A and B are shown apart, each in its own frame.
Chain A
Amino acid sequence: MNLRRFFLIAVPYLWLGALFLVPFVIVLKIALSDIALSIPPYTPQLDLSAGWEGVRSFFADLDFENFTFLTTDDLYWKAYLSSLQIALISTFVTLLVGYPMAYGMARAASEWRPTLLMLVILPFWTSFLIRIYAWMGILSNEGLLNQFLLWTGLISEPLTILNTNLAVYIGIVYAYLPFMILPIYAALEKMDDSLLEAAEDLGCSRVTAFWLVTIPLSKSGIIAGCFLVFIPAIGEFVIPSLLGGSGTLMIGKVLWEEFFSNRDWPVASAVAIILLLILIIPIILFQRNEQKQREAEG
């Protein structure tokens, strides 16, 4: 009987171990290694045939050189900071765009809601990559947006949007909007309309009732949405490399270049480890929020 319980508990832990811990340990190990002209391109390799001596020399060769290296070149911390900034700003913009949409959906007649929900999820049916390519077509100098603006006569010269940070913001907001809308919608949909009536009855105008009742009651949705956008946005690679320009500095791009252009796996792994450490803080905060929410409902 204890065996059964043991297995039941073991399954999720095995899952976590296989899919999270093992890859993490491998990446950490690479981060502590040195670059080498070999396959795989780093050293030392664990040589078990040499027995105990081999293990000892393996551990002796691991060091924190790559992490020290990251601090010597200001490219890295600038890339981290810039990613942080881009992720923060685009999360905020996504919230500004997503909240009214979620609100509109939650207030729509109930027979319309499934359709609206479908429309929000619909973009997922096409590949992420293709959708970002489509934005290149929209934002380029000869793109749809510029053609339209020239046609209306609002501008006489095409605007340069593609290959700037603006294009990156547009891309991130577009790509992650559903992750913002869905949790906020879920929170708003649960809300009892009579609460707004009660607020009005007690002397609130519609606007104050929104601030004092609707916003606080959708807080958990707002927080969840912000994390769901912020966490992937900070490590985003595809959007800055396709839509951003040479001036767009994001850690995902740096990581990719270290891996594939420089073939410096150890430094790339060190960059990834630091990124993970940075992300752990918001992930823990996110978990806290979820737990608090569950307690409040339970």
Chain B
Amino acid sequence: MSQTIFAPWDDPNEKPLIQFKGVTKRFGDFTAIDNLNIDIFEREFFALLGPSGCGKTTLMRMLAGFENPTSGSILLAGQDIVPVPPNKRAVNMMFQSYALFPHLSVWDNIAFGLRRGNASKDEIADRVEEMLRLTRLSKFAKRKPHQISGGQRQRVALARSLAKAPKLLLLDEPLGALDAKLRQDTQFELMDIQEKTGTTFVIVTHDQEEAMTVASRVAVMDEGRLIQVATPSVIYEAPETVYVADFIGDVNIIEGTASQSGDKVEITWAEGEMPIRGTTAKTFAPGQTCHFAIRPEKVTITTERPDSANMLQGRVIDIAYLGNLSTYHVKLPNGTMMKAQTANTRRLANRGITWEDDVWLSFTDTAGVLLER
């Protein structure tokens, strides 16, 4: 039983669907996108993640054709699309502001793009009905956009951009206004559509969990630059910088000086604390400043002294109960706060650790990653 793993970015023979080559976009003297290079492959579900104002929407708008890069080129299937107007691109975009036509009903909004092609009336009707079913809007087909809720509007915008089954679909925060349950359903729906239609998706999201769930690769952006592009698991398990580690998920960062022997590194980080032992494939010069990043769920919390490569003693300051998980905020003697997460496999009353308890934190020497910056 062998399953081919979908990883065209690792295959040098694979031609990317979209290529950004040295793309820079300036608004006046403000640089929104700074010399950006990306390859996005066919059938990818590419997620853009980054803080507000880092240029995600600008990037999408360049793909859709509403902004032209100040310099650099954008290729779609090997062809420069910068001179191609938006209505001639096989690209559809779902707008962050939805941009629904207020004078048209939900039905007509969804049919709008289909009517521009040369599909017959029946084909259009079938397609619209299908989209309405998919987004569970059948009941609202006759309403105008101002007569439906925010989440329903978002689904209309989604349905409208999906209707034409474009080669490339750009989704700018498509699911932000949906409740958790509907969002999850829609995420799976999107993945399903993607699988069925082979459409390439570029999706902007503020929700890292969403990026993790749906994306084949995640790009983390900051101030118009790409910080790291990798699969969700690599981004999570092996971030390249502190910025990425910090942006995706919860993390403990410890700064110290490295002394390396082989792939083992000892990090001296505080007076009177044992050095932290880690493993890395990188090389650190002796005495080089480095950051040790470890996820809270990889830190074990116990009341007894454990036997592990790394052990730290501290006191529980706070416990965040998340239902399935609990996060313990532990203060070390030198004031550093560490987070440890455990699965709540037992009932609340049977758990041994509570506020103000002295505890041990421990982790193996391969649990964390070492970062240069």
Q: Chain A: residues with CB nearer than 8 A to chain B? A: 192, 194-195, 197-205, 208, 212-213, 216-217, 219, 296-297
Contact = CB atoms under 8 A, between A and B. Distances in A.
A194 B112 contact: no
B157 to A, nearest CB: 9
Interface stretch (B92-100, B184-192, B195-203, B244-252): B92-100
Contacts, number: 62
A203, A216, A219: residue with the most chain B Cβ atoms closer than 10 Å: A203
Interface in B65-104: 65-66, 85-87, 91-93, 95, 97, 99-103
A296 B147 CA distance: 9
A283 B229 CA distance: 63
B87 A200 contact: yes
A217 B97 contact: no
A208 B85 CA distance: 14
A212 B64 CA distance: 20
A203 B117 contact: yes
User: Would you call the interface of chain A mostly helix, strand, loop, or mixed?
Assistant: helix
24 contacts: A194-B95, A194-B97, A195-B101, A197-B64, A197-B66, A197-B95, A197-B99, A198-B95, A198-B100, A198-B160, A200-B87, A201-B87, A201-B91, A201-B92, A202-B92, A202-B164, A203-B87, A204-B87, A213-B101, A216-B103, A217-B102, A219-B103, A296-B102, A296-B146
B113 interface: yes
Interface string B12-48: 0000000000000000000000000000000000000
Contacts of A297: 146
B351 interface: no
A202 B99 contact: no
A193 B103 CA distance: 15
B144 A296 contact: yes
Contacts of B87: 200-205
A195 B104 CA distance: 12
A205 B85 CA distance: 9
A54 B46 CA distance: 93
A200 B65 CA distance: 10
Given A194-B95, A296-B144, A201 B101 contact: no
Contact of A203 (B66, B93, B101, B164): B164
A194, A202, A212, A219: residue with the most chain B Cβ atoms closer than 10 Å: A202
Contact of B99 (A198, A205, A208): A198
A216 B160 CA distance: 19
A203 B66 CA distance: 13
Nearest to B117: A203
Nearest to B88: A203
Contacts of B64: 197, 201
B103 A217 contact: yes
Contacts of A194: 95, 97, 99
Nearest to A197: B66
Contacts of A201: 64-66, 86-87, 91-93, 113, 161
Contact of A195 (B66, B86, B99, B164): B99
B98 to A, nearest CB: 9
A188 B144 CA distance: 19
Contacts of A212: 112
Nearest to B163: A202
Contacts of B101: 195, 198-199, 213
A186 to B, nearest CB: 15
Contacts of B346: none
A110 to B, nearest CB: 16
A204 to B, nearest CB: 6
B116 interface: yes
A176 B95 CA distance: 40
Contacts of A203: 87, 113, 116-117, 164
A217 B102 CA distance: 8
Contacts of A198: 93, 95, 99-101, 160
Nearest to A209: B87
Contact of A192 (B66, B99, B116): B99
Nearest to B103: A216
A213 B112 CA distance: 11
A266 B103 CA distance: 49
Interface string B157-170: 00011001000000
